[in-house]
C-alpha cells in the first residue's frame, strides 16, 4: 500500500499526545507523547496492562477529552483546539463510542430496533434495523428490550447502536471485559463485520482473543507507546 493510499484510508491520527491527572495535588502522568493512526476498514487494537493509559487515550481519540499536549485529527480535522460545540458536532458525525459495561450503552426503555433508529436519527440519517441486526446475528431480537438480552447480545446491540448512522470511527472500550468466550467470539465477529462495512474500528482490550483478531495493534506501557 502506498503512502498516499494509506493517508487516504487514515481516519484518525494523533501526534505527541500527552495527558495527566491531578491526584491529591500531584500530577500523575497518564500518556506521554503518543503517536498513532487508525485506518478505515481495519480493526485496530489498543492493548496494554491496567493503568497503561488505554482508556485515557481512547477518550482523547474519541474526542471525549482534550489532551494537555499533542494533536488529534479525525478525518483530517485537528480536534484538540476546536470549541466544545464543534467537537460535539464532530463526535455526532464521525464517532461511535461503546462503553465497557454492556448495560451502560443501552436505554432500558428502548427496544433493540429503536436503539438503531435512535442512533441513526442522532446522526440525522435513517437505518433499516433489520438488515444490520441480521448481519450481527440479532435478527430475532429486534423487538426485545435490553433486560431481555444476554451480556453478549447487549454488547453486540451496543456496537450496532454505535455504528448506526455510519460513523467514520467506531471506538470500543474493553467490549469483551464482561463476556464469556463464546460471547466474546461473537462480539469479535461483529467488530470484523463492522470494519468490513468500512468503519475504522478502534478497540481497547486486555483480551488476547480480541487483539489477535485485530488487523493492527497499538501497545501502551506506562503511558508510552511501545514500538516493536
Partner 1 sequence: MPAPWSRAPFLLWRRPAVALAIAVAGLLVALPAAAASLFLASSGNATLHNQLERSCKWTVGAQVGAALPFTAPPYRPDQLVGARLLQERVGLVRPAAAQVPRLSEPVVSTLTRGHVRPVPGPPARPDQTAVSLLARDGFREHVRVLAGGAGRGIWLPDGFAAAQRLRVGDRVAVAVGPEPVSMRVAAVYRDLRELPDQPYWCGLRDVYRGKPLASAPVYPLALVEHADLLAAARGSDVRAHNTIEMSVDTEGLTTTDAAPTIAGLRQLGAAVTDRQAAGAYPDEAAVDSTLAVKAARAGLVVDALTGTVVPLAVAGALAGLVIAAAAGAFWADRRRAELAVLCARGVGPAAVAGKAALEAGGAVLVGAAAGWLTARFLVATAGPSPLVTPGATLVSVLGAGAAALAVLAAIAAVAGGRAGRLFDAPPGHRARLSRLPWELVPLAAAGLAWFLLDDDVQLRGAGAGAVAYIPPRLIVAPVLLAAGLAMLTGRSTWWALRALGARSRRRSRSRPPGTSMRRIARFLAWRRVRAAPVVAAVLVGATAVPVALSVYGATVIASVDRTLHAEAQLIVGTDVVFTLSAPAAVPGELAGRASVTALRTDGSLGDTTVHVLGVDPETFPRAAFWDPGLPGPALRELVSRLDPEPARPGAVLAGMPAPADATLELAGSRQSLTITGVPQLPGKAPGNPVLLVHRDVLDRLVPESRPQLWARGDPERIVPAVAGAGLPVSTTSRADQVHAAGVYTGITYTFTFLSAVSLLSGVIIVVGLLLHLDARSRARRSAYVLLSRMAVTGREHRRSLLLEVGGLLLAGFVTGLGTAGVLVLLTHTGYDVDPGTAPGALVTTPWPVLAGLLTAAAATSVLAAAAAHRAAARARPAEVLRDTR
Task: Give the binding site for partner 1 (CB under 8 A).
Answer: 24, 59, 62-66, 68, 84-85, 87-93, 95-97, 99, 101, 103-110, 114, 117-119, 121-123
Contact between 201 and 42 under an 8 Å Cβ cutoff? The reply is: yes
Smallest gap from residue 178 Cβ to partner 1 (A): 8
Do the bridges between strand 95-98 and strand 169-173 make them parallel or antiparallel, or are there none, so unpaired?
parallel
Strand partners, 204: 46, 173
Nearest approach, Cβ of residue 228 and partner 1 (Å)? 31
Residue placing its CB nearer to partner 1 in the complex, 121 or 181 = 121
Phi and psi at 66, nearest 5°, equal: -100, 135
CA distance readout (Å), 64 to 55, 92, 181, 208, 222? 11, 11, 30, 26, 21
CB nearer partner 1, residue 3 or residue 124? 124
State which residue, 62 or 213, has the beta carbon closest to partner 1: 62
Closest contact distance (angstroms) between CB of 152 and partner 1 is 17
Q: Given the DSSP bridges, would you call strands 26-39 and 10-23 parallel, antiparallel or unpaired?
A: antiparallel
CB of 107 to partner 1, least distance (A): 6
Amino acid at each position: 500500500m502506498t503512502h498516499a493510499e494509506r493517508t487516504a484510508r487514515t481516519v484518525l491520527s494523533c501526534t505527541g499526545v500527552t495527558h495527566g491527572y491531578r491526584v491529591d495535588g500531584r500530577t500523575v502522568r497518564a500518556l506521554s507523547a503518543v503517536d498513532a493512526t487508525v485506518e478505515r476498514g481495519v480493526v485496530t487494537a489498543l492493548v496494554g496492562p491496567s493503568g497503561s493509559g488505554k482508556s485515557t487515550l481512547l477518550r482523547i481519540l474519541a474526542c471525549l477529552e482534550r489532551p494537555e499536549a499533542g494533536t488529534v485529527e479525525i478525518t483530517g480535522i485537528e480536534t484538540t483546539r476546536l470549541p466544545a460545540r464543534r467537537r460535539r458536532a464532530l463526535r455526532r458525525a464521525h464517532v461511535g463510542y461503546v462503553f465497557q459495561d454492556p448495560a451502560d450503552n443501552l436505554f432500558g426503555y428502548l427496544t433493540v430496533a429503536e436503539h438503531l433508529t435512535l442512533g441513526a436519527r442522532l446522526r440525522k440519517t435513517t437505518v433499516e434495523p433489520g438488515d444490520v441486526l441480521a448481519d450481527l446475528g440479532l435478527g430475532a431480537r429486534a423487538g426485545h428490550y435490553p433486560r431481555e438480552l444476554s451480556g453478549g447480545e447487549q454488547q453486540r446491540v451496543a456496537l450496532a447502536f454505535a455504528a448506526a448512522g455510519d460513523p467514520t470511527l467506531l471506538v470500543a472500550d474493553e467490549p469483551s471485559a464482561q463476556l464469556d468466550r463464546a460471547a466474546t467470539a461473537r462480539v469479535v465477529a461483529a467488530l470484523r463485520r463492522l470494519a468490513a462495512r468500512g468503519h475504522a474500528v478502534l478497540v481497547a482490550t486486555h483480551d488476547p482473543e480480541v487483539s489477535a483478531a485485530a488487523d493492527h495493534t497499538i501497545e501502551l506501557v506506562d503511558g508510552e507507546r511501545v514500538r516493536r
